[in-house]
Each structure stands twice: as structure tokens, then as C-alpha cells.
Amino acid sequence: MRILLFIPCLADQFAPKAAEATALLLEHLGCEVIFPEGQTCCGQAHRNSGDEEAARAMVLRMARIFEGDEWIVTPSGSCAAMITRHAVELFGSESVVPAQVQSLARRTRELVQFIEEELGLAPDEIVGDPGNAASVVAWHPSCHLRELNRFDASGRFLESIPGLEVKRLRQEEQCCGFGGTFASKFGAISGALAEDRCAALEESDAPVLLCNDTGCTINIEGRLSRRGTPVEIQHVAEWFCQALGLQSREQDTR
Amino acid sequence: MKGTARNIFLDRIRAALGRSPGQSVEPLVVDHDMVRPSLPGSGDERENLRALFVDRARAVGMDVLICPRAEVAKVAANFLTEAAITSVQISSDPIIEQELVEKMNESSIRVAGEDVELDVMYQEIECGITMAKAAVASTGSVVVTGSDQESRLTSLVPPNHLVLLADSRIVEDLLDLSTSPEDLPSCMTLVTGPSKTADIEGVLITGVHGPGRVQIVLFHG
Amino acid sequence: MKDPATPPTSVDGEPILFPRGVHDIRPRAQQFLEDESLQSAVREATTLKDQARRDVLKEAFGDDVDQIRSIAGEIKRHTIDHLDHYIETWIERAEAAGTRVHLASDHQEANRIVVEIAREKNAKLCVKSKSMVTEETHLLPQLEAAGVETVETDLGEFIIQIDDDAPSHIVMPMIHKDRKSVARAFVRELGAEYTEEPEQLTRIAREHLREKYRRADLGISGGNFLVAESGSLVLCTNEGNGRFCTSAPPTHIAVVGIEKLVPAFKDLWFLLHLLARSATGQPLTCYTQVLTGPRRPDDLDGPEEMHVVLVDAGRTRILADPQFRESLGCIRCGACLNACPVYRKATGHAYGSVYSGPIGAVITPLLQGLDRNPTLPEASSLCGACYEACPVNIDLPRMLVALRRKTRKRRGTTGERMALWGMRMAFSSDRYYRIAATIHRYLLRCFSGGSDRLRSAPGPLSGWTRDRDLILPASRSFRKRWRDRGGAVR
């Protein structure tokens, strides 16, 4: 199966290893992975800031770049939600949404969602045991999984990986405080939320946190760094690649 | 004048909605039954309803005693005696009221009149006794009223409330309560537990302004 | 008690509710964030109630919860879309039942109507149960000015009143107060003996208020629902004070927003299945009163007169804008406050409105003006917890974004506009994007002095580095790696 890889700007810049793991994992699962090089951003930042016009332009651009009938797979839950839910809303009612935007929205999937819902694979059909990957992890469900109806589902998917212990964090339903420009504009509130997440993480004693949103990752990583808490954050794809021996666990040099 | 002001008020709303006066409304069709409780498919329906009601009423903090119709007055009097209650006010169905009064007299429990002032009620009446017009199994509620037979205050002011409930009055859900104009009193109150608050640091306290204890006597036959 | 004409003030010296001028949620939030006991009280209460809501809804409705929320939303939306019709029907039926109906276009009119009735009845003492609308209209000072002593009777609201404070949560008004402040207020204002025991404190309030019920010649309440088919007013309460206020005094006035209508009883029952479960985790509040007119000729008791004041006060303005109309469907359960990460941190008074949390961030700007509350719609990470919690399925995140759009059009700081414009340019082609990313990475490296993380950033990023580091972008982007390893592109 041929798929188009959608790597959001934050992942491209801040989490290239997670993006690469996404591609490697998809290839391992038998997909032919194509990266449309013209891609830049889905328009989420502009949409969330109320700049609808700019967001629409970016969505139209995305739709052009990703034209075709292949699935579009992305490692980011929030960008998947932006495309599948909000891109269409930006154009008003169903009838006036350009066909290519409708197609874009219809074909876009977050990675775990794609594996479970479209490839129809259960975790034990992918890995037999954690291998070189961590055997105890904590899980951070990104808020935007709500919009994909995946808030519980992705956690459950991880929990059914053979040999993996998934620690659910206290108040896991509470946002980590990222929210794009919100984090800078409302630094004190956002920082307090990041602290809650990090405190819960420390409490869980898990050496690794799995998360599938670069926004959450840089937020939590930044707070962990400030606190001096040595927990490694990985994308779900990175964990799988390590378990399958496709990627090493070593930290990347930046 | 009043008519004009009213029209201006409504016209503003219509303008906001883009509607014109008297414009018809398509009735709303949704599946209200979605909120109904799931009852066990087998067994006696009335029995199931009663079991569900008792379960839910207890879950919200009301006590339930069950007895045959003939023993209502006795069970009520026993409860009062055990709770060391010495004075009551009864606001109920005349037939049951008669039986209750007789039983209270036997047990030397004072029965106050229905027209006492609030300060007298505060000081002298320890329990209000009323007859439930209906009860709702899915929420564990009993329905009390303010009407020509029942005082609003009897079930509110005294620290204890004793409710008599005929088994046949239990309906499955709120949706089954009768609300036709002739059945709707000036005041219908669904009581779902004793008066309570958690305003101070979330600590649950019962008996704030209303009764802290609600005793249901559920009778059949 | 203090002069009721001066509203209680917050940490910034402005009135807690509806501060003058332009309100910014941040300064208050920052102070409240430093108050550890406030933070822990609000965290405990909100997370507990949020969990209770999930648990009881799941227990009652299993996997149907979302479908039921969506039907409830349809009921409210249908009603709001045909509000003129249902108000007309309600008025007709309510009047037939003997209720006197008054219509108030704005705050002043609502207050004037209530004060006039009080004067006409020669009322001296009024017992009041909870009503959010009267907080909006500032009714109490008006009544006091007219010589009517007015006492809040809901325990939390009573404590707030005597302690010169303001509610900070729709359902748990004194979530921000501890037992010590209650104890002190009771000693000071009621001459009670000092006790911190909630049970004792409740008894003291009970006795104090019983005397008020006995003497009151006027009862004021709000209203949770108005049932069009019967002209009824529905009140949902837990303590019993609402029943007292609507049963003991000879006159009852309910002050209710026009959005409270539902077409028929079946709709009411449907919504009631969700209201208390979403608010406190109860199947229903302890008391659900359906009031249809004043006492009837043969009734044993009840008020001789029942008045309902229907208040518009900005609601038709919301009605007229289709993108915000559904916010009027709110049934004031407070579930979105409990679920909201920002409410949990900023806490209620930061919002400067009787409506706080996500619903407050939407309707406060709509009711009081976006110009006066520009930061409320911004103060959200758009995490969607409120939408998921809302029993009537109001898409609050969508409306927050729509309000941001309005703000952006009207004001928006130059820096922000430039940043958005710059990003838009950068994202308009992959070549620009690569150049911009390189510059961005270079600048951040300069600021960090060669480190892979930034501990203190200048300008707009200083908010970020206040409590956390900024990990710098990787030296090789994904697209570069992909090229380097010869991955398929198009």
C-alpha cells in the first residue's frame, strides 16, 4: 500500500527522529512511503489564532500537495485533528468545501489510528516483546486525540502490547498546557499545567514517556529539563522501531 | 401598553432568529427513550421496578421500609417510636391520615394541625408525614406536592420526613410521570435524597434547610 | 456587613465580578497560582467532580453517553432556534396558571421590575435562593437601596454574602474559601462562637436563616428551566432553601434568562437526567421543583403571588449570531469548569465574571463585550475537555476560536500580527519554509549561547521560558534526513 507521509512543521524541526521512526515503521508494515516535499504546515496555528483566511490558504496548499487517493499518515494527533475536523469547518458548510479539501480530510490519519483502524493490526501482530525498547513506559494522551475519538483507544492499543507495562498518569485527561501560542501568552498557567504533568510522571517512576504530539513533547521536555527530571520522551513510532530493531535507542545529536 | 412592550420584546427575539410572528415550528423529533434505565428483561415487571426504586432511593441516602398496606400505620409508628420522635404533622390522603392519627394517638405521638405558624413548626414538629403522589425508579425519587391535600412545608420544615408510597405509584422513569394540566399541582417536588450541602470544603452535610432524614414506607396491596 | 453598594474587590483592587475597564485574566491568575491552599482546594474539588461525572454517566448510560449528550444538545438548539415561539407559548400557559410575567430587556429594567414589586408589597425582608442572572444585573444593591434587606440562603452564597466575597464557580460558589474564613465571618457577622466544624457552621447558618424565612415577605429565586407546554418554572436545588424561598413568603419572584426554555416535559426530563449527574454526580438534585403558578384557592400553603421576570440583557445579541447561538443552550452544570485545565489553575475569580471557566470565557465577552474581555477567549489551550464534558454538547473550543477571530479583526497586537504574517509567508512555499527554519534555528542558537536548550528567552517567548526550557530544533530536519537516506519523495 502506498501512503503519503505528512510530517508537521514541529515534528520536522524538533522531532525528526520521531518522524523518521514513523516512516520506518510504516515501511516495516509493508507500506510504500512517499514524502511530498512541498509540504510545510497544516495551518493549525493560524486557525487557532483566529486567522481563518491564512489557515484556509494553507489548507488549500496542503490539499494540492497531497492530491491523490492514497492515505495520508502523520505522527501528530493535533495536525490530524486539524485536517480531519477543522480544515473542513474553515470553509463553512459541507456543500462549499472544495472537493480536494474534503478528500484531504477523508484520507488523513494519525499513525496509531492508521495502524489500528486502516491496517487493522493489533499490537501483537507487530511486535512480540519490547526487545531493545523500554519495557515500562508512561503514556501521555494528547488532547487532540479527543477530536479523533482516540483518547482512550490509543492508550488501550499500547496496553495490549505484549510485555509492555503502561503506566497511566494521574490526571491523564488534563492538558499538559501546550496549546501553541497559549503556552507563551499564558506562561504562568501553562507552566503550572506542565508541572502537573511532570510531577505525575515522576510519581509514576516510568523511565520513558510515550507521546504522539510534538507540541506536547517539547512542552513536557522543556519542563522536565527545568526540573532536572531524567525521563526520556519518545514517540510511539520510536518505541516500535526500537522494539523491532529498526532504530537505536540512543539520543539523537541535535 | 403591556401588549406593545411584550411585542417589542418578542419582535427583537424574532428579528435575531429571522422568524416572523406566528411562524410555525416543526416539532422536534428525538429519541427521548434513550435515557430510560435498562431493566432486567425477565421476571415480574412491577417487582423489577420496585427493586430498582428501592436500590436507587437507598443509593441517594433515603431509607426504605416495605410492608403490606394494612401495616402502614403500624410501621410508621414503629419508625417514629424507634427514632424517639414525639410530634408529627401529617399532610396526606384523608383515608391514610385517619389511620395514622389513630395509631399516633395509641403510641402517644402528638399530631399537630396543618395550619401552624413557621416558628411553631420549627420548635415543635419533629417529623412531617406525607403521601407520595408518585415515585421514579430510575432516579430513586419520590414526588411530593403543594396542593389542597398536602402542605408544601410539611415535607420541608421538620428535620425528618416520612413518606408513604404505594407500590403502584412507582413509574419507571421521569418520562412516565403524569404532567397533564389536571395532574399538575401548583408545586410538584421530586425529592431525591435528604437535604444536603458540600459548600464548606466539600464536606458533605445533610439536613441543611430541609429534612436531614427521609424515611420511605413502601406498601403494596 | 459592608455597604452593599460597594462591590467586593479582588487582588487587583477591581470588583471581583465585572471589573471596570479592560479585564486581563493574567494578573489575577498569577496571584491565585501562588496561593497553594486555593490551588489545592480547587484542584481537589474539580477533579473529584469531573471524575464523578464520568463515572455516573457511564454507570447510568453506558456507551450511549455521547449520543445522549448530542440529543440533549439538539433539544436545546431546537428550543433556542424557535425561542420566540416557546416564550410566547410559555407566557400564555404561565399566565393561565396565574403567574405574572414580566419582560426585562436589560439589567436596569430587570432590577426595576423586582424593586417595584417589592415596593408594592411593602416588603422589608427578602430571602433569596441562587440566581446567576441577578449577579449579572447587580440586583441586591438595588433592593437594599430600596430598603429591602435581602439575604442569600444557599449556604455557600450566604457565606459569600456575609464575608463580602463573590462566587467563583457556577455550582460550587465558595470553592475558593476554606472553613477558617467561614468561621471568622460567622463570629464577626453573626456573633457566633468560633468553630471550624462544617457541621456546626451549617447548623449556625440554618438557625440564622430559619428566622429569616419566618419573617420574610418576599422570596426571590432563579430558574433552571421553563417548560413551555405548561408554563412551569423548574428549580433544581440541594439544600432546601429554594423550597423555603418559594413556599414560605407570600410573594415569589423568579428572575430567569430567556434561554431557559424547553418545549415540553419530556424534554425537561431528558435534560434533568444530565444536569445533576454532570454537576455533582447525583442522579437528580435533592429537590426538583416544578412550580406552575402561585398557590391555588384551596391549596394549604404557598405564595399568593408568583412573578417571573424574563431577562434578555444581551441574549438576543447572542441569538442573532449563528456561530455563538448554541452557547445559550448552557444548562449551568459547571462540568466544563471542572474539566478545564485553565479554570483549575486560574480559578474562578480570575475570569472577572459570575460565569467562569470555558462557558464563561465564551459568554462573558458576548454578554459584557469582547473589548472589555479580550484575554478570556485566548486563555485556552483548546484541549477540548470542555466540549467532551458538556451535557448539551456545546462546541466551546470552536466558539473560543471564533471569538479570537473577532479580536484579531479588531485589535491584536502588532507583534502577534507580524508573527502570524511571517509564519504565513514561511509556510507559503517549501523553499521559504526551509530558509525560515534555518534562520529560526540560527537565532535560537545565538540566544542559547551554543547550548541545545534555551533557559531564558526574550520577547514573546519569555512566557515559555518562565517555567520551562526551550529545547532547540534538531540540527538536521526530518526532510533533510529523508533526502540523505534517499527516501521516496514527490
Q: What CATH number does residue B173 fall under? A: 3.40.50.10420
The number of beta carbons lying within 10 Å of the beta carbon of residue A70 is 17
Q: Is residue B6 part of a domain?
A: no
Structural domains in chain A, sorted by start: 2-118 (no CATH), 123-243 (3.40.50.1860)
SS3 state of residue C453: strand
Neighbours of chain C (3+ CB pairs under 8 A): A, B
Which stretches in chain B have pLDDT values below 50? 1
- Answer whether A54 touches C (CB < 8 Å): yes
Q: Does residue B2 belong to any structural domain of this protein?
A: no
Amino acid sitting at position C109: E
For domain C82-313, the CATH class is alpha beta
- C301/B152 CB distance under 8 A: yes
Write out the three cell numbers for C440: 529560526
CA distance A216 to chain C (A): 11
Question: What's the pLDDT at A96?
Answer: 86
Asked if the structure places residue B181 within a domain, the reply is: yes
Residues 6+ apart with CB under 8 A from C25: A186, C346, C350, C351, C352, C375, C376, C379
Q: How many angstroms separate the Cα of B8 from the Cα of each of C87, C90, C99, C250, C336?
A: 13, 17, 21, 31, 35
Instruction: Tell me what pLDDT residue C355 has.
Output: 96
**Inter-chain CB proximity A35 and C487 less than 8 Å:** yes
The reply to whether residue C26 touches residue A188, judged by beta carbons under 8 angstroms, is yes
Q: How far apart are CA B153 and CA B170, in angstroms?
A: 23
Phi, psi of C462 (to 5 degrees): -65, -30
Per-residue burial over C53-70, b = 16 or more CB atoms within 10 Å of its CB, e = otherwise: bbebbeebbeeebeebbe
Residue B18 lies in a domain: no
- Identify whether B195 is part of a domain: yes
Containing H/E element for C459?
Answer: none
**Which three cell numbers, joined as nine digits, stand for B73?**
400505620
- Name chain A contacts of C433, Cβ cutoff 8 Å: 9, 40-41
A93 touching chain C per CB within 8 A: no
All structural domains of chain C with their residue ranges? 82-313, 414-484
Query: Does B3 reside within a domain?
Result: no
CA distance C109 to C119: 15
With contact defined as 3+ CB pairs under 8 Å, the chains touching B are: C
The stretches in chain C having pLDDT less than 70 are: 1-5, 410-413
Do the chains contact at A254 and C452, CB–CB below 8 Å? yes
Q: How far is CA A248 from CA A12, A98, A138, C476, in A?
A: 19, 43, 20, 17
> How many H-runs (helices) and E-runs (strands) does chain B carry?
5, 12
For chain A, positions 56-75, list CB contacts with chain C under 8 A.
Answer: 57-58, 61
Q: What domain range includes position B132?
A: 43-220
Distance (Å) from the alpha carbon of B218 to chain C's nearest alpha carbon: 19
CA distance, residue C155 to nearest chain B CA (Å):
7
* pLDDT score of C19: 92
Q: Test C172 with B198 for CB contact under 8 angstroms.
A: yes
pLDDT > 70: percent of chain A:
98
What pLDDT does C458 receive? 82
- State the smallest CA–CA distance between residue C281 and chain A in angstroms: 18
Helix axis angle, A16-28 to A236-243, nearest 10°: 50
Within 8 A by CB and 6+ apart from B69, the residues are B166, B219, B220, B221
Task: Show the 3-state SS of B18-43.
Answer: CCCCCCCCCCCCCCHHHHCCCCCCCC
Torsion-angle region of C357 (φ positive above 0: left; ψ -120 to 50: alpha; else: beta): left
- Residue C138 main-chain phi, psi, to 5 deg: 55, 50
Which stretch of DSSP H or E encloses residue A56?
Answer: helix A52-65
| Edge-to-edge strand ranges of the sheet holding B160-166 | B63-68, B213-220, B160-166, B127-131, B87-91, B110-112
d(CA A46, CA A58): 9
**Model confidence at A93, in pLDDT bands (50, 70, 90)?**
low
| Alpha-helix runs per DSSP H in C175-223 | 179-190, 198-215
pLDDT number for residue B168: 95
Q: Do C302 and B186 touch (CB under 8 A)?
A: yes
Number of independent structural domains in chain B: 1
When pLDDT is averaged across residues A31-39 and rounded to a whole number, the result is 96
Report yes or no on B25 lying in a domain. Answer: no
Count the alpha carbons within 13 Å of A233 in the hemisphere toward its beta carbon.
Answer: 25
CB C291 within 8 A of CB C256: no
Nearest-CA distance B65 → chain C (Å):
20
**What cell was used for C108?**
436596569
What's the pLDDT score for residue B1?
47
Structural contact between residues C87 and B10, judged by C-beta atoms closer than 8 angstroms: yes
**Which band of pLDDT confidence, cut at 50, 70 and 90, is reported for residue A146?**
very high
Residues C273-331: tens digit of each pLDDT: 999 999 999 999 999 999 999 999 999 999 999 999 999 999 999 999 999 999 999 99
pLDDT of residue A251: 61
Query: Are A179 and C416 in contact (CB < 8 Å)?
Result: no
Instruction: Provide the pLDDT for residue C3.
Output: 61
